[in-house]
Amino acid sequence: MRSEEEANRAVDLYGDTVRRICMIHLKNRADTEDIFQTVFLKYVLRTAPFESPEHEKAWIIRVTANACKDLLRSFFRSRTVSLDVLIEKPQEIPEDHSDILEAVLALPEKYKDPIYLHYYEGYTAEEIGQILGKNTNTVYTLLTRARQMLKTRLEGVAEDE
Amino acid sequence: MNKEKNFEKNFRDAFSQIHAEDGLKAQTKSYLAQQINKKKRHSFPVLQAAAAAACLFAAVSAGGAWLYLSPASYISIDINPSLELGINRFDRVVSVESFNSNGQDLAEQLDIRYMDYSDALEELLSKQTVEAYLADGAVMAVTVAGSDEEKTNQILENVETCTAGHSNISCHSGDIEEMHEAHSEGLSLGKYRAYLELKTLDPTVTPDDIRDLSMREIRDLIDDLKSTDTGKDEDNTGNSSENGAGNAGSGPKENGTSAGSKRHGHRHGADNNW
């Protein structure tokens, strides 16, 4: 089990990354809090050392993506509406570049992680494949289709304007 | 191409606005701290229980070892060799102490530690050295002392049974305080009692004078002094009237000593003699 200092360092270092992945998948603050707790608790409980800071970051990304997937899949969640959702406002999207953020949020689930990891984190298709446990060619296909969908949507927005 | 680069830049700009809120980070940190401390706290009861169990085990073992290894009663055996056997609460011999050089030799020949005291006594009596002494007309005094009177009497009875076949062995019971006094003089209990008796007749006698004398020799000395004393001073001590004249083979019925005020019972062997 890791120490409190290590836990705090990880939250400071990877909090933004986890928050961005949560943002593209989840719609409310309560779920994001759940994911934060799940991901960093797993980090605290993991005793095996990381080979490098890159390995550590990739591990955090994979655990976050899987935790989001699990949360969205859960039977309870698919059949109920949490009080938080009813009480709380959906998370606010920053005004700047809101078109891009909204376009990413509108993508089907399976395209969100590859597109974020490629365009924001700068991972190659092969690296994304390793992180998400997918075939490299599958990642290429996902990226191409996602790019196409984003382009269509953003061009549509531009035309509307 | 420019369009693509433009898109990538806009994409990065869009996402770089997203940060984990301070509140969210603080909440996560406090949750993790709580979990880490809970795990630590949880591990303590186990450690505490283990430590408590270890302490209990150590205490029980130490207590058991103490109970087993500490003598509760003593059997002092004096011929010329003076030996003292420490008997624990479970009737086992846990210590063999010698009080003179002959006793030392005899102790080295004996392997009676942790034996039942009756067996140990049988073993001792069957030793050639001891048999030779007894056959030679020596007298043997077996004195049992212990803090528990009932236990002491029980041991004495057994000892008497063991020595019943020998006519020149006498058995007595003493008390633990008397035994400590004997030890402080460097004598075994049996010899110390003989010494006290001798001292009432001859106050100049010291423990060193009699340490290496055999019981027969001490007994003879006592008898000699007594026969002299009875002639010239009828009320020398309370003992003298009790200790009527007699030879080594037919001593007095009551073996009073100068420590006559002390509690010590008298159980005599075959011929009530030292």
User: Is B43 touching A (CB cutoff 8 A)?
Assistant: no
**pLDDT confidence band for A89 (50 / 70 / 90):** low
User: Which top CATH class is A95-161?
Assistant: mainly alpha
Distances (CA, A) of B140 to A3, B120, B194, B196, B224: 77, 16, 12, 17, 19
pLDDT the model gives residue B150:
83
- B59 is written with which tokens? 């205490």
pLDDT the model gives residue B231:
55
Q: Each residue of A22-58: pLDDT tens digit?
A: 999 988 888 899 999 999 999 999 988 999 999 999 9
For residues B101 and B259, the model is more confident at: B101
Q: Residue with structure tokens 């880490």? A: B36
Residue of B nearest to A18 (CA): B20
**pLDDT confidence band for A113 (50 / 70 / 90):** very high
The radius of gyration of chain B's CA atoms, rounded to the nearest angstrom, is 37
Residues 6+ apart with CB under 8 A from B259: B178, B193, B196
Q: Examine the pLDDT at B255 and tell me if it is beyond 60.
A: no
Q: Examine the pLDDT at B187 and tell me if it is beyond 60.
A: yes
- Nearest CA-CA distance, residue A137 and chain B, Å: 21
* Contact (CB<8Å) B14/A94: yes
Mutate to test the interface with A, among B25, B27, B37, B38 (most CBs of A within 10 A): B25
For residues B109 and A85, the model is more confident at: B109
For residues B150 and A141, the model is more confident at: A141
**In 3-state terms, what secondary structure has residue A152?**
helix
Sequence-ordered alpha helix ranges (H) in chain B: 2-16, 22-69, 101-109, 117-125, 128-135, 149-163, 176-184, 189-201, 207-211, 215-232, 238-242
Determine the average pLDDT of the residues in B163-169.
78
C-alpha span between B103 and A49 (Å, rounded): 70
**pLDDT confidence band for B238 (50 / 70 / 90):** very low
Residues B107, B82 contacting (CB under 8 angstroms): no
* Contact (CB<8Å) B18/A4: no
Q: Examine the pLDDT at B63 and tell me if it is beyond 50.
A: yes
Distances (CA, A) of B129 to B103, B105, B126, B133: 11, 10, 9, 6
Note the ipTM here: 0.87
Q: Examine the pLDDT at B272 and tell me if it is beyond 70.
A: no
Which of A4, A40, A151 lies nearest to residue B28, judging by beta carbons? A40
With pLDDT > 70 as the criterion, what percentage of chain B qualifies? 81
User: Is B128 touching A (CB cutoff 8 A)?
Assistant: no
* Contact (CB<8Å) A120/B12: yes
**pLDDT confidence band for A157 (50 / 70 / 90):** low
Determine the average pLDDT of the residues in B129-153.
82
User: Is A19 touching B (CB cutoff 8 A)?
Assistant: yes
User: Is A71 touching B (CB cutoff 8 A)?
Assistant: no
User: Is B29 touching A (CB cutoff 8 A)?
Assistant: yes
**pLDDT confidence band for B43 (50 / 70 / 90):** low
For residues A136 and B241, the model is more confident at: A136
* Contact (CB<8Å) B39/A1: yes
Which sequence spans correspond to the domains of chain A?
1-92, 95-161
Residue of B nearest to A102 (CA): B14
User: Is B24 touching A (CB cutoff 8 A)?
Assistant: yes
CATH annotation of A1-92: 1.10.1740
**pLDDT confidence band for A63 (50 / 70 / 90):** very high
Q: Each residue of A122-136: pLDDT tens digit?
A: 999 999 999 999 999
What is chain A's mean pLDDT, rounded?
Answer: 87
Q: Each residue of B72-89: pLDDT tens digit?
A: 888 888 887 888 888 888
Determine the average pLDDT of the residues in B183-211.
85
User: Is B33 touching A (CB cutoff 8 A)?
Assistant: yes
User: Is A143 touching B (CB cutoff 8 A)?
Assistant: no
Helix (H) or strand (E) holding A118: helix A109-119
What is chain B's mean pLDDT, rounded?
Answer: 77
pLDDT the model gives residue B90:
85
Determine the average pLDDT of the residues in A105-117.
94
